Structure 1
Amino acid sequence: MKHKITYYILNIVTVITVTMFFSCKDNFRDVQKLGISENEPIGVAENINLKYTDSGRVKAVLLSTKMLDYSNRDFPFNEFVNGVTLDLFDENNEKSVIVADYAIVYNKTNLIDMKGHVKISTKDNDTLFAEQLYYDRNKEWLFTNKPVSFKRGLDLIYGNGFDSNSNFTNAEVLEVNGTITVDE
């Protein structure tokens, strides 16, 4: 009888030990995240000068005084709370400049969302003013569905949206509200 009780206790201990062993999981990522709130940036950088190149040619340069890095999120992004200056270069290395009060760069989609007093100055002295503008780095495309004013030559065009490639060869104001021709 004593031998049977020892046998049962040994089996129960073995079952509990095996159960505990298989119930453990790899939680190394959870341990790494301890002390880091998902609502807080994982890093802060100052005086950013980010160059985007393709085949050895600089296509864009993003400048900012402060960047917050949220790469610890499921959908990672970088936030530029003090504004940005984005220089876009065409095939002839001619520059167009975009300035905004605030921007977010979404890493997975390569989309830059610029907000607050967005201004584009092209190499041909065309100027766009908008409250929000998106730049798709993959397609090299600028667009918005917010109100804009676009000065091209002597024309000042108002509308609700803008669509253009990055070198502005086919810039288009959408839903035009009016055009004013300014005599100089």
Structure 2
Amino acid sequence: MRITYREIIQGIVTLIGVTMLFSCEGNLNEVRALQNPADAPRGIAKGIMLKYTDSGKVVATLKSKKMLDYQNKNFPYREFPDGLDIEFYDEDDKKSTVTADYGIIYDKTGLIDLRGNVVIFTADSTILEGNQLYWDQNQSWVFTDRANQIKFPDGSFNEGMGFDSNQKFDKFNFRTNNGIQNIDESEK
């Protein structure tokens, strides 16, 4: 049996075509996986600064290197994988700050989950530090079940596992704590 030059060329072309077909199928599956709208965020923002206003007055600013917007999910949320910095202004324009390495805001419940080196510095110089902190915007309540430390302007401090408080930090409930409380006896 004699194979002609033409048959060799046809065999090579067929082999190349089949190889390309299978390699394209592999790449096509990878592209489809990247474009899966069920897993992808609706939007990605980098270097953001959001200002929240009430009646034309700035009440809060949020800064973050990156925000992933998952409003396309059944339980919508916004994620801040590279951390966030928030500044709050009260009625007298006094500023309180919140920083964390990671944050996620759940829109339906109004719950904010802050994680990693969470630090809150209030306008009256109260400092709260912890690894995780939840803030319920609807109830104006802050809480955690993790280790935390709170330093008050008068020198008092508490360290413990878990607490909850109103967002003004003037009413606290500690689960376990160890610390020093200064009591002014002249107020009796």
The TM-score, its normalising length taken from structure 1, stands at 0.72
2:173, 2:151 → 1: CA distance?
Answer: 10
Q: CA-to-partner distance for each residue in 1:141-184, whole Å, 9 max, x for gaps?
A: 322222211111312211222323333233x25123211479xx
Q: What is the SS of the residue equivalent to 1:176?
A: coil
Displacement of 1:83 in angstroms is 0.2
Greater shift, 155-164 or 112-121, is seen at 155-164
Q: Distance in 1 between matches of 2:163 and 2:91?
A: 22
Tell me the residue number matched to 1:93. 93
Aligned residues: 147
- The residue matched to 1:53 in structure 2 has which SS? strand
Residue type at the aligned position of 1:161: G
Write the letter of the residue equivalent to 2:177: N
Q: Give the match for residue 57 of structure 1.
A: 57
Summarize the Cα distance change of 1:119–1:165 in structure 2 as closer, same or farther, 3 Å threshold.
same
Mean Cα deviation higher: 48-57 or 79-88: 48-57
Aligned to 1:135: 135
Q: Residue in 1 aligned with 2:76?
A: 76
Identity %: 44
Aligned to 2:105: 105
TM-score (norm 2): 0.70
Partner of 1:167: 168
Compare 123-132 and 160-169 and name the one that shifted more: 160-169
CA contact (8 A) 1:128 1:150 kept: yes
Distance 2:161 2:125 in 1: 21
Is there any run of 5+ residues in structure 2 with no aligned partner, and where? Answer: 1-34, 183-188
For the 8 Å contact 1:159–1:173, the answer to whether it is kept is no
1:145-160 to 2 correspondence within 5 Å?
145-152=145-152, 153-160=154-161
User: Per-residue displacement from partner, 1:23-47 (whole Å, max 9, x unpaired)?
Assistant: xxxxxxxxxxxx4332221211011
Deviation at 1:132, TM superposition (A): 0.9
Structure 1 residues 99 and 140: alpha-carbon distance in aligned structure 2, compared to 1, 3 A threshold:
same
Query: 1:127 deviation in Å?
Result: 0.7
**In structure 2, do the counterparts of structure 1 residues 115 and 108 end up closer, same or farther at CA, with 3 Å as the change threshold?**
same
Distance 2:163 2:59 in 1: 21
Specify the alignment match of 1:16 in structure 2. none
How has the CA–CA distance of structure 1 residues 110 and 63 changed in structure 2, closer, same or farther, with 3 Å as cutoff? same
Match of 2:177, SS? strand
- Moved segments of 4+, more than 6 Å: none
- The 8 Å contact of residues 150 and 173 in structure 1, kept in 2 or not, is answered as no
1:112 shift after superposition: 1.3
> Displacement of 1:82 after TM fit?
0.5
CA distance change for structure 1 residues 83 and 46 in 2, over 3 Å: closer, same or farther?
same
Cα distance in structure 2, aligned partners of 1:91 and 1:125:
17
**Structure 2 SS opposite 1:117:** strand
Distance 1:177 1:169, change over 3 A: closer
**Superposition RMSD in Å:** 2.0
Secondary structure in structure 1 of the residue aligned to 2:124:
coil
Question: Aligned pair in 2 of structure 1 residues 176, 155: CA closer, same or farther (>3 Å)?
Answer: farther
